[in-house]
Structure 1
């Protein structure tokens, strides 16, 4: 596995009916695979609209990942950055103004 999947447990956490029921249901709801982020057709990955492990049909829709405009990559990156703890350093006085 390459990239972010190398150490991920995400695939293991998918429900057993992911390929047999959930993906086909998403295709039925959105046969043109309109990306839920940019509104353009041709989504190539099924995305969780809200982060986490909510696999309900309402939370799943198509998104561009391997194909331009790569909406899923940008969304996932932003979610990863947002999940990082933000440490703030104490404000230091400028050495020239001491």
Structure 2
């Protein structure tokens, strides 16, 4: 895997019928981006299917067709809002100050 999927286990969380579900959502949304901002729908050609509410609800009512640009924006916002778990390590003291 490359790009954003590198190191991700998200692909394994998708249901076995994901290709069919993805095709169903794209057809339902007429292959048009459903991103809504300021009361206007994008309407560009949709290439991605995204979860409206993050998580493991793969029902068609929780899925929407998005263009690549808006899918990237939404994913970035969700990633930035996610809690960060980092290890804090104190700075090493300079050897001359020991």
Please, what TM-score do these two structures have when normalized by structure 2?
A: 0.72
Following superposition, which runs of at least 4 residues in structure 1 exceed 6 angstroms of deviation?
A: none
- Cα distance in 1, alignment partners of residues 28 and 72 from structure 2: 23
Deviates more, 1:22-31 or 1:48-57: 22-31
Partner SS for 2:44: coil
Q: How far 1:35 moved relative to its partner? A: 1.2
Which structure carries more strand by proportion?
A: 2
1:23-73 deviation line (CA, Å, top 9, x unaligned): 232133122x221214213010111111111100001111011xxxx0111
Partner SS for 1:16: coil
CA contact (8 A) 2:26 2:46 kept: no
Q: How far 1:2 moved relative to its partner? A: 1.7
1:3–1:27: structure 2 CA closer, same or farther, 3 Å change rule? closer
CA contact (8 A) 2:49 2:64 kept: yes
Alignment correspondent of 1:15? 15
Structure 1 gap ranges (5+): 86-98
* Aligned Cα root-mean-square deviation (Å): 1.4
- Cα distance in 1, alignment partners of residues 34 and 83 from structure 2: 25
Give runs of aligned pairs for residues 1-98 of structure 1, distance below 5 A. 1-20=1-20, 22-31=21-30, 33-38=31-36, 39=41, 40-65=43-68, 70-85=69-84
Structure 2 gap ranges (5+): 85-98
